[in-house]
Amino acid sequence: MTSGRKKLGAGKSTADFPALREFFSGYLHQDFQDEYGSAPGAAKAFRNDASETEIEAVRREWQAWRAGLGKASTDEMAEAARKRGAAWQPQTLEDLDHVETALNAE
């Protein structure tokens, strides 16, 4: 029997990352470059807007999501982000690093 949840990378379903989905759809949406200038800029705006609890949830889910990507190709990284509500299309591991650094900055 299946739960009806779609599996996404490393055995994680879309329901396994609710905070990350909120971050992706709320900050890395189709207008993120116009609003924030860059994906790291969107992450910084999220950090400024969110509560500590929300920030910690996104940081925790980001780590699990990123670990699940393993050695994903560019297309796989972009698809994994899209499946969680992002319009952002990371092209390199460095793109992920920049967003992660912005999420973790104090």
83-100 residues labelled b (16+ CB within 10 A) or e (exposed): ebbbebebeeeebbebbb
Contact indicator for 54, 62 with CB cutoff of 8 Å: no
Extract the tokens encoding 29: 């949406």
pLDDT digits (tens, 9 = 90+) for 52-105: 999 999 999 999 999 998 888 989 999 999 999 999 999 888 999 999 999 999
d(CA 3, CA 56): 27
Question: What pLDDT is attached to residue 13?
Answer: 52
Q: What is the pTM of this model?
A: 0.82
Q: DSSP code of 70?
A: T
Contact indicator for 41, 25 with CB cutoff of 8 Å: no
pLDDT digits (tens, 9 = 90+) for 15-51: 689 999 999 999 999 999 999 999 999 999 999 999 9
